Amino acid sequence: MRIKRRQLKILIEQFLLEQEEEEQTDVPAEDAPEEAAEPETPEEEEKPAEEEVKLENIPEFKIEIDDSQHRIKFFKDSNQLQYKVDGEIISNKSLQDFVTLAGLGLINAEEEDVPKLLKIVKLDKSLAKYSDARIKDIIRQKIKTDRIGFTDNDIRKSLGKM
């Protein structure tokens, strides 16, 4: 069986992610008999907090690509999430465009803005199952390895510069 270098790279990354997930699930299982009731209550308290996060008033943030800075602003228009790049509303957006720009903003976001940007990033179902801190790490990893959605061309497309 022949596979291309890119396919091998993807397989290795998926394997490493699965290993990390297994390690994370194994650790709580060992501690479960002692602290069975305690972890459930914080999770139950956190879930309503996540639902209460509103996508309004997300501050403008800047990203840099091709030696130029671009200002990104998410906003709601007629109950639909939209975004502006350098003051211009971008049309023909995909879900991945929102996830890409919110992910880039998440990396350097201030603490009060993180839940709002995470809510946008979690629209991508492949990221929704991870913890907030893990999502930041995954996005950084995707940027470093030029994964789909976070390549320079994908970022340019999200910015409407292609």
66: alpha, beta or left? (left if phi > 0; alpha if psi -120 to 50): left
**Residue 14 identity (one-letter amino acid):** Q
Residue 106: Cβ within 10 Å count: 22
- Residue 33 is predicted with a pLDDT of 42
Counting as low any pLDDT under 70, the low residues of the chain are 23-56
- Residue 64 is predicted with a pLDDT of 87
- Residue 100 is predicted with a pLDDT of 93
Give the CA count within 13 Å in the CB-facing half-sphere of 123: 17
Token digits of residue 81: 């999430």
Distance separating alpha carbons of residues 60 and 73, to the nearest angstrom? 5
Using an 8 Å Cβ cutoff, are 122 and 95 in contact?
A: no
Distance separating alpha carbons of residues 74 and 146, to the nearest angstrom? 24
Q: What phi and psi values does residue 120 have, to the nearest 5 degrees?
A: -70, -45
Give the CA count within 13 Å in the CB-facing half-sphere of 11: 6
- Residue 134 is predicted with a pLDDT of 92
Token digits of residue 111: 């603490």
Using an 8 Å Cβ cutoff, are 20 and 130 in contact?
A: no
- Sorted by where each begins, the domain ranges of the chain are 1-52, 54-162
| In the chain, alpha helices (H) | 5-31, 40-52, 95-107, 114-121, 125-128, 132-144, 152-159
**Residue 161 identity (one-letter amino acid):** K
**Residue 74 identity (one-letter amino acid):** F
Q: What is the pLDDT of residues 87-115, one digit of tens each?
A: 999 888 899 999 999 999 998 888 888 99
